[in-house]
Amino acid sequence: MPVLAPASGTSQPPYPLHASIVDKLDPQYVAFYNKHIINAQQVHYQPVAASRVGGKLIPGGSNNLPVDLTQDFSISRQETEGPEVDGQSWFTFMAVVGFLAILTQRIRLAPEDPFPAAVHDSWEALLWTVSKGVQILNLNKDLVTIGGSSAGGNLAAVLTQKATELLPTLKFRVQLLIVPVTDNTAAVTTNATYKSCQFTAALPAEKMLWYRNHYLPDQTMWTALEASPLLAPLKTFAKLPPAVILVGELDVLRWEGEEYARKLNAAGVHAKVELMKGMPHPFLAMDGVLDEGKRAITILCESLKDAFASPSADLEQ
């Protein structure tokens, strides 16, 4: 399958916004980018270790909100092999988590732990949550949702499909998928927004493929359903819960988020797509400086309230 060549590793800042995209971007994003991001080293042009010690990867987020309690848990595995799932909070969207008031857990990181390590860890975390976690955290198993952003959106979609088959008594009220990766076979030659947004800000196609090649170094696994949930058959989509899917107008991942919603709707499952105008990929993490980032959080909070409001969880209102 045709793919872009990996980053050369030789490019240096500054990184001006590409001419094909700059006039389409939200002016707030352009102004912030030109002031705070243009001279920052891009992660796909340096070693992974350098990115991990280089400070905040996505500037522009609001301050973390105070919450009543945060707790870290180490989870013993029930079905997969490996060490305990480390429960230490390590999360790009801590401010968003504060707004949603949910518990986070650490996900292992590629390239040291490539696919399917993150899927296994997330599955073990879900198993723990709906078993031991119910009593420890005083949870109501009738009021459960699942969600994630970007790679986390991929994991949320994968776990929802897997839970539908293996945990039939668990009923998610809604799945909240923000700029999700649903098709890890996508390329500029095969995907509409990989092509139209090839040189977009924040997550150009080349950078997305850099991430993919770290997470999925074995290309034969790109079509696995636990890597590309969009490829699941329609009968699987028919069993899934309703979805709210947020996509960026100028994100390479826009098409696969919209297509995931189209397949849900085609299978008779209500899926609502919210298009964030003029936005590249990381708008949710930039809620401190972008109005569309703030709107995204509002949509997520309102979607949760709607999902919890009644057994029918009518998301069409």
Place of tokens 């991430």: 211
Phi-psi region of 179 (alpha: psi -120 to 50; beta: other; left: phi over 0): left
Q: Which of 150, 183, 228, 303 is catalytic?
A: 150
Name the token pair of 246.
């947020």
Cα–Cα distance for residue pair 89/104, rounded to 1 Å: 6
Q: Which of 251, 287, 303, 306 is catalytic?
A: 251
Cα angle: 124, vertex 212, 179; to 5 degrees: 75
Q: Which of 149, 228, 281, 306 is catalytic?
A: 281
User: Quick check: is 196 catalytic?
Assistant: no
Q: Pairing mode, if any, of strands 271-276 and 144-149?
A: unpaired
Cα–Cα distance for residue pair 126/206, rounded to 1 Å: 32
Cα–Cα distance for residue pair 113/275, rounded to 1 Å: 33
Q: Pairing mode, if any, of strands 172-178 and 144-149?
A: parallel
Q: Which residues contact 95 (CB under 8 A, 6 or more apart)?
A: 61, 62, 63, 64, 65, 287, 288
User: Quick check: is 44 catalytic?
Assistant: no
Report, as residue numbers or ranges, the catalytic residues: 150, 251, 281
